Amino acid sequence: MILVTGGSGYIGSHTVLVLLQAGFEVVVLDNLSNSSTVSLERIAQITGKKAVFIKGDIRNRALLDKLFSDYLIESVINFAGLKAVGESTKKPLAYYQCNVHGACTLLEAMNDAGVKSFVFSSSATVYGEPETDCYHENLPTGHPTSPYGRSKLMIEEILKDLQTSDNEWKIAILRYFNPVGAHQSGKIGENPTGIPNNLLPYISQVAIGKLPYLNVFGDDYNTPDGTAMRDYIHVMDLAEAHLDAMNAIMKINTANESALKIWNLGTGQPYSVLEMVKAFEDACGHDIKYKIAPRRAGDIAKFYADASLAKAELGWTAKLGLSDMMEDTWRWQSNNPNGYNHLLK
């Protein structure tokens, strides 16, 4: 059985779906601070299979001990955490508490239960500001600009120390670039609370008429159309990568190989903000209003993944392109204009 923490959230729910379809039994632990169990009900409708759901917090050691004694867990995929960059600058302690203390509590409980296979959601934000736009795993990590980013880097360092101290640990650190999109069914997707911070949820709320226009943050970057470029990756490709990474580390013979793996997950193809707007217009069939606004603090002009290591070591590459990302987001948004919110119990 696989424990997926944060499994009712955006990326977690798509990964739970992929795990169930691959034949794994899944336990989801989520405190529902940023999600609802409706995602899990929808997954059951799509797959005909149900994950066990436990409402609870990764910082609750007694609950974790009971969970590891009640279920035979082979591996843990940890999505649980707070993720809003802006909020993290206002509430740094909440972010370190939840993300760093949460990860440590979970790892301690795993260690004591003898479960030593761990897949971690990290982010491209851990890289420094290299000379290149194309990030390879061997580039040094830098100084993330927010408490959120620093919490990810701290957990990466903790995981390296843990694996160095005990070679039985098998750990995959997955550095996501910009996850977007939704399952092709239009039944599960991203469900941001309040006004979205990220580009695609914002565009899709403009498209559906909930927001008046998009602010394009900066049109004077050194890029072909002047707007900033990112490596957007479809959430289903990302979900598949978690399955592949988990399977790969579980097969490692730790007697001959280090079992601390870091893989970038992106497509390697960056798109500008205006290219994203245009692609969304093609998917939804009407114009998206936008205004050029000042650059957003902390943003850089361009970055994208060198994902060749994941291809070489996992046999994984992103299969879905820009039109899939946009069409699937639009299907989810137009079928569920209020996300899961109106269904909340």
Binding region for ligand NAD (CB under 6 A): 5-6, 8-12, 29-35, 57-59, 79-83, 98, 102, 121, 123, 176, 179
Shortest Cβ distance from residue 95 to ligand NAD (Å)?
10
Q: Give helix 322-335 / helix 199-207 axis angle, nearest 10°.
A: 50
Pick left, alpha or beta for residue 11 (phi over 0 → left; psi -120 to 50 → alpha; otherwise beta).
alpha
For residues 117 and 122, which CB has a smaller minimum distance to ligand NAD in the complex? Answer: 122
How is residue 114 written in tokens?
């003898």
Nearest partner of 124 among 310, 18, 221, 262, judged by Cα: 262
Residues numbered 282 to 341 that lie near ligand UDP (CB under 6 A) are 296, 299
Helix (H) or strand (E) holding 95: helix 92-95
H-helix or E-strand spanning residue 115: none
Distance in Å, CB of 198 to ligand UDP, minimum: 3
Q: What, of ligand UDP, ligand NAD, none, does residue 199 touch, CB below 5 to 8 Å by kind?
A: ligand UDP
Of 230 and 242, CB closest to ligand UDP: 230
Q: What are phi and psi of 141, to 5 degrees?
A: -75, 160
Among 73, 216, 239, 246, binds ligand UDP (CB under 6 A): 216
Interaction with ligand UDP in 184-203: which residues (CB under 6 A)?
197-199, 202
Q: How many residues bind ligand UDP (CB under 6 A)?
A: 14
Using rule CB under 6 A, residue 214 touches ligand UDP: yes
Residue 213 catalytic? no
- Token digits for 149? 């980013």
Question: In the stretch 54-83, what mask flags binding to ligand UDP with x, by CB under 6 A?
Answer: ------------------------------
Cβ(169)–Cβ(116) below 8 Å: yes
Burial label for 250, CB within 10 Å (0-12, 13-18, 19+), is middle
Strands 26-30 and 75-78: unpaired
- Tell me the residue nearest to ligand NAD as measured from the CB: 9
Interacting partner of 135 out of ligand NAD, ligand UDP, none (Cβ under 5 to 8 A depending on kind): none
Using alpha carbons, select from 61, 150, 41, 142 the residue that is nearest to residue 109: 61
DSSP count for the chain of H helices, then E strands: 12, 15
CB of 273 to ligand UDP, least distance (A): 4
Residue 97 touches which member of ligand NAD, ligand UDP, none, C-beta under 5-8 Å by kind: none
Stretch that binds ligand UDP, among 21-29, 156-164, 208-216, 312-320 (CB under 6 A): 208-216
DSSP assignment of 201-246, as one string? HHHHHHHTTSSS-EEEE-S-SSSTTSS-EE-EEEHHHHHHHHHHHH
Q: Is 145 in the site for ligand UDP (CB under 6 A)?
A: no
Q: Which of 84, 103, 76, 80 is nearest to 30 (CA)?
A: 80
Residues in contact with ligand UDP, shown as a per-residue x/- string from 247 to 276 under the rule CB under 6 A: --------------------------x---
176 binds, among ligand NAD, ligand UDP, none (CB under 5 to 8 A by kind): ligand NAD
Which of the following is catalytic: 96, 148, 202, 221?
A: 148
- Which residues contact ligand UDP (rule: CB under 6 A)? 178, 197-199, 202, 214-217, 228, 230, 273, 296, 299
Known catalytic residues are 148
